[in-house]
Amino acid sequence: MDADSPNMRRIVSEAKKFATDTAWEVANQAMQVMGGIGYTDVYPIEKAVRDIRLSQIWTGTNEIMSLLIQHEYFQEVLESPSDRRDVEQDAMHADDSEKVYADEDQKKGMAR
């Protein structure tokens, strides 16, 4: 992937969020396995937990990364050719999603 790729911001955000969330899950499980001694500085797990938690916050919290990923994705969809789904239409009629899919199937000549 090139640095000037149009969806680079989204991909980097996804990678950061995935890596830090996965590391947090692993470190948290390790802390559980260690029990109470895992909170002490006898073993390096307590430092790993602190460092990993910091990495989830440092360059933008993972919650902000989620919002950025969603924003970038929808920008990509809205800027793409019009043969894709109408995102605004889907959002306005989210409760009627079954009808949206049925209409789409009718266009393709398929029945539900």
Question: Which of 9, 3, 4, 1 has the alpha carbon at shortest distance from 76?
Answer: 9
Q: Which domain holds residue 112?
A: 82-112
Say if residue 33 is in the same domain as residue 64: yes
At 75 the pLDDT is 86
Average pLDDT of the chain, as a whole number: 81
Of 56, 70, 88, nearest to 9 (Cα)?
A: 70
**Per-residue pLDDT reduced to its tens digit, 68-109:** 889 988 888 788 776 666 667 766 666 655 565 566 666 766
pTM above 0.85, yes or no: no
Copy the structure tokens of residue 40: 């002490």
C-alpha closest to that of 16 among 63, 48, 74: 63
Do both 75 and 46 map to the same domain?
yes
What integer pLDDT is reported at residue 31 of this predicted model?
92
pLDDT beyond 80 at 67: yes
Distance between CA 29 and CA 27 in Å, rounded? 5
Q: CB 41: neighbour CB atoms within 10 A?
A: 8
Same domain, 72 and 86: no
